[in-house]
């Protein structure tokens, strides 16, 4: 497809397709494909993160939808999973997310949720792109849509989050450092945790339009690690800019990534008889996670990278839990998409019920050494057919044999090739990853 990638449309603000004119046309196309509800006027909700370009793109999307005769309900800053939840409960024809997730402030993006709160299937995205090729026609004035503010959007999502853990769970006495990444969760997550009784020290909660993800959040956990140690906290919680990722830090300042969090949740669910099948990870999930599941007789399957593919495999298998090392964790019995706050609450419930610290729970998994190097490429560059890279990968795989594995994949959101190697010997993993990254880098230069 021309516009849609693995996670909606994303790019640098002011460059196609992230321009006001294209986003307005996108809104018009969305309205024509999804907006009508039988014979009555449709309704679509729009939420955004905290980056400065959100104001502009929100207005452009709103104008496109209204010109197609669709009523618009504006949520303001709202985590991506909150938009998915409200799209479902508001009986909207779609939910629009204006966010570039963990990317820097100068990027932005658009993605859509269906009335069920799920990401749109490829065939609907394809239909939207086809409509975008047509001339935009504004409906008659009497048929134009209207825009309103969604009433108490934040409060509704806060109550939903709190309702996802058992009533007997309290966070009284637990000291938590919370990092909101200066993103969409800055006014949501603190309320959820404090209302459940936690003593909070909050960082990354002062968005200015430019500081989203900068030095804070799930993709930059050093600030959280330092704050946990400085505050003498029991643990730390880091969300990313749009609130769908979770990384935690134990009382010793050690990072507990998505792989370990998924294991903690899965083992607790299995003990309660509530796992409902196995767990889905990705090709990037650590080998140690797979080994831990095998040791506990829990089935584990790997999907392609991206929460969309994790979700597809979960639904195909009829399973309830899955996610990525990066912190996208999907609890299908609670949410239709990855939700950092909801996942954090489930881990906190495991701590409450077991009486164990986060460090003790995370020790169930031995992490195999893993190194990943991002190699910048030109947009549209396809490495899959490069003979020199194929030969180098085959050589590294032969050398590692059964002591490790190689993953080479393009990023779905950035012009990068991710080169990942994991194995038993850390020095060997690092050396081989640097070697392979150099080969990929040279291939991009020669192309």
- Whole-number pLDDT of residue 174: 97
With tokens 């992230």, the residue in question is 18
- Whole-number pLDDT of residue 206: 98
* 265 pLDDT above the threshold of 70: yes
Instruction: Answer whether 9-152 and 171-255 agree in fold.
Output: yes
- Whole-number pLDDT of residue 280: 98
- Whole-number pLDDT of residue 401: 85
As a whole number, mean pLDDT of residues 234-263 equals: 98
In degrees to the nearest 10, what's the CA dihedral of 89, 95, 98, 101?
60
Pinpoint the alpha helices (H) of 101-169: 122-132, 153-162
To the nearest whole number, what is the mean pLDDT of the chain?
A: 94
Assigned CATH for 257-362: 3.40.120.10
Whether cis (ω within 30° of 0) applies to the bond prior to 17 is yes
Confidence tier at 446 by pLDDT (50, 70, 90):
confident
**For the chain, what are the domain ranges?**
9-152, 171-255, 257-362, 370-446
pTM above 0.85, yes or no: yes
As a whole number, mean pLDDT of residues 291-305 equals: 95
CA distances from 153 to 44, 58, 77, 181 (A): 14, 16, 9, 20
- Whole-number pLDDT of residue 40: 57
* 35 pLDDT above the threshold of 90: no
**Active-site annotation holder among 73, 99, 101, 185:** 101
Percentage of the chain lying above the pLDDT 90 cut: 85
In degrees to the nearest 10, what's the CA dihedral of 357, 193, 285, 117?
150
Pinpoint the alpha helices (H) of 163-257: 189-195, 222-231
Confidence tier at 447 by pLDDT (50, 70, 90):
low
As a whole number, mean pLDDT of residues 344-365 equals: 97
Determine the angle formed by the axes of helices 20-34 and 122-132, rounding to 10 degrees.
120
* 381 pLDDT above the threshold of 90: no
Confidence tier at 414 by pLDDT (50, 70, 90):
confident
- Answer CATH for 370-446 from 3.30.310.50, 1.20.1050.10, 3.40.50.300, 3.30.930.10: 3.30.310.50
Instruction: Considering only CA atoms, give the Rg of the chain.
Output: 22
- Whole-number pLDDT of residue 126: 93
Q: Are strands 199-203 and 175-179 parallel, antiparallel or unpaired?
A: parallel
As a whole number, mean pLDDT of residues 72-96 equals: 97
* 15 pLDDT above the threshold of 90: yes
For 68, residues 6+ apart whose C-beta sits below 8 A from its C-beta are 27, 28, 30, 31, 32, 35, 138, 139, 145
* 38 pLDDT above the threshold of 70: no
* 344 pLDDT above the threshold of 60: yes
* 441 pLDDT above the threshold of 80: yes
* 72 pLDDT above the threshold of 80: yes
* Active site annotation includes 101: yes
pLDDT in tens, 199-241: 999 999 999 999 999 999 999 999 999 999 999 999 999 999 9
As a whole number, mean pLDDT of residues 230-257 equals: 98
Distance CA(41)–CA(52), nearest Å, equals: 31
As a whole number, mean pLDDT of residues 361-369 equals: 95
Residue 365 and residue 263 in contact, taking contact as beta carbons nearer than 8 Å: yes
**Is domain 9-152 given the CATH code 3.40.120.10 in the classification?**
yes
* 39 pLDDT above the threshold of 80: no
Q: Are strands 94-98 and 43-48 parallel, antiparallel or unpaired?
A: parallel
Instruction: Return the DSSP state at 414.
Output: S
Burial 270-285 (b: 16+ CB within 10 A, else e): beeeebeebbbbbebb
Confidence tier at 308 by pLDDT (50, 70, 90):
confident
- Whole-number pLDDT of residue 294: 94
State how far Cα 239 lies from the chain centre: 10
* 6 pLDDT above the threshold of 80: no
Confidence tier at 316 by pLDDT (50, 70, 90):
very high
Confidence tier at 37 by pLDDT (50, 70, 90):
low
Confidence tier at 159 by pLDDT (50, 70, 90):
very high
Which secondary structure element, helix H or strand E, spans residue 196, and what is its range? none
* 312 pLDDT above the threshold of 70: yes
- Whole-number pLDDT of residue 362: 98
Between 151 and 411, name the one with better pLDDT.
151
- Give the residues across from 418 on adjacent strands: 374, 409
* 357 pLDDT above the threshold of 70: yes
Assigned CATH for 171-255: 3.40.120.10
* 4 pLDDT above the threshold of 90: no
Between 305 and 55, name the one with better pLDDT.
55
């Amino acid at each position: 497809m021309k516009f849609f990638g693995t996670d909606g449309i994303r790019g640098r603000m002011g460059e196609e397709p992230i321009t006001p004119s294209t986003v307005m046309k996108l809104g018009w196309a969305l309205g024509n494909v999804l907006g009508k509800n039988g014979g009555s006027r449709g309704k679509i909700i729009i939420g955004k993160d905290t980056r400065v370009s959100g104001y502009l793109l929100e207005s452009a999307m709103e104008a496109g939808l209204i010109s197609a005769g669709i009523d618009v309900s504006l949520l303001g800053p709202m985590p991506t999973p909150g938009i998915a939840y409200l799209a479902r409960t508001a009986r909207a024809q779609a939910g629009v997310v204006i966010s570039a997730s963990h990317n820097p402030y100068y990027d932005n993006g658009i993605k859509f949720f269906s009335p069920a709160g799920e990401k749109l299937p490829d065939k609907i995205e394809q239909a939207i792109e086809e409509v975008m090729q047509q001339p935009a026609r504004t409906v008659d004035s009497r048929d134009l849509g209207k825009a309103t503010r969604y009433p108490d959007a934040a409060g509704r999502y806060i109550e939903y989050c709190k309702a996802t853990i058992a009533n007997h769970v309290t966070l009284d006495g637990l000291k938590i450092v919370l990092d909101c990444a200066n993103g969409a969760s800055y006014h949501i997550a603190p309320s959820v945790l404090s209302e459940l009784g936690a003593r909070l020290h909050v960082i990354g909660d002062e968005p200015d339009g430019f500081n989203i993800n900068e030095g804070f959040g799930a993709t930059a956990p050093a600030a959280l690690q330092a704050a946990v140690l400085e505050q003498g906290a029991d643990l730390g919680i880091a969300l990313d800019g749009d609130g769908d990722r979770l990384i935690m830090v134990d009382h010793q300042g050690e990072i507990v990534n998505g792989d370990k969090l998924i294991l903690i949740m899965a083992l607790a669910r299995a003990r309660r008889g509530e796992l409902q099948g196995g767990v889905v990870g990705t090709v990037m999930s650590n080998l140690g996670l797979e080994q831990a599941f095998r040791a506990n007789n829990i089935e584990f399957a790997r999907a392609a990278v991206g929460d969309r593919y994790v979700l597809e495999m979960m639904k195909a298998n009829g399973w309830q839990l899955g996610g990525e090392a990066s912190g996208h964790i999907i609890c299908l019995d609670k949410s239709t998409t990855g939700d950092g706050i909801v996942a954090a609450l489930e881990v906190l419930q495991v701590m409450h019920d077991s009486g164990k610290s986060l460090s003790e729970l995370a020790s169930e998994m031995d992490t195999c050494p893993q190194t990943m190097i991002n190699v910048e490429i030109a947009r549209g560059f396809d490495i899959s057919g490069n003979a020199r890279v194929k030969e180098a990968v085959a050589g590294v795989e032969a050398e590692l044999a059964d002591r490790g594995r190689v993953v080479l994949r393009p990023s779905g959101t950035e012009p990068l090739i991710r080169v990942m190697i994991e194995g038993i010997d850390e020095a060997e993993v690092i050396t081989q990853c640097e070697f392979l990254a150099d080969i990929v880098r040279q291939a991009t230069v020669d192309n």
